[in-house]
A and B are shown apart, each in its own frame.
Chain A
Amino acid sequence: QVQLVQSGAEVKKPGASVKVSCKASGYTFTSYAMHWVRQAPGQRLEWMGWINAGNGNTKYSQKFQGRVTITRDTSASTAYMELSSLRSEDTAVYYCARAPKEWGRGYYYMDVWGKGTTVTVSS
């Protein structure tokens, strides 16, 4: 079955960076993209960006452009999300989600989600 296993919780100081991993299994990793979505306490889901795991192309939300980097290691079937210049408002649960292509449209949607990684930013 499709599984996305994310790395463990992180506590970071303001100004630092965090890198979260998402290891995929149960499907052909390079046949899908991978989204990263976060959810701050009591807030709505917020899309950060995606990576086409096949060719490595990325697309980022304008809100996070310049601060987020999404990469992948095809040999390890793992996607990564790195967020820099952390501030307290970045405290959230970060999810990866498998992304099938919506054929005929220029985007990928989210079907299977990882369990989330809690990132706490505190001095």
Chain B
Amino acid sequence: QSVLTQPPSASGTPGQRVTISCSGSSSNIGSNYVYWYQQLPGTAPKLLIYRNNQRPSGVPDRFSGSKSGTSASLAISGLRSEDEADYYCAAWDDSLSGSWVFGGGTKLTVL
């Protein structure tokens, strides 16, 4: 089963801009939308970005998503302490009979 690849960790200081990458393949990111989820410690995932770069209502515009080929990125600008969380990318994978695949998660630390 395909999986998506993310760096295990990222960090930044308050006010900085950080980016988190997500690498996939032609059967997932290359041919379908990318979604990003934020998981604060001990809580359920929350949808941050859908359809590569769309924000649900209530998500600050400090969060932005992009996609190019078989890779995607999540950018967080004006970093705040409450952004410290795990971030997961996800995409539908068309291989075999189809399945959702997730990245391994990136733990963001605000220094």
Contacts and interface: CB of A to CB of B under 8 A. Distances in A.
Interface of A: 35, 37, 44-47, 59, 61-63, 95, 97, 102, 105-107, 109-116
A112 B47 contact: yes
B96 interface: yes
A62 B90 CA distance: 18
Contact of B44 (A62, A105, A113): A113
B97 interface: yes
A85 to B, nearest CB: 20
B18 interface: no
A95 B44 contact: yes
Contacts of B88: 44-45
B69 interface: no
Contacts of A113: 44-46
Interface stretch (B9-17, B60-68, B72-80, B98-106): B98-106
Contact residues of A: prevailing secondary structure? loop
Interface in B16-45: 32-33, 35, 37, 43-45
B98 A107 contact: yes
B53 to A, nearest CB: 14
B3 interface: yes
A35 B100 CA distance: 10
A101 B92 CA distance: 12
B103 A111 contact: no
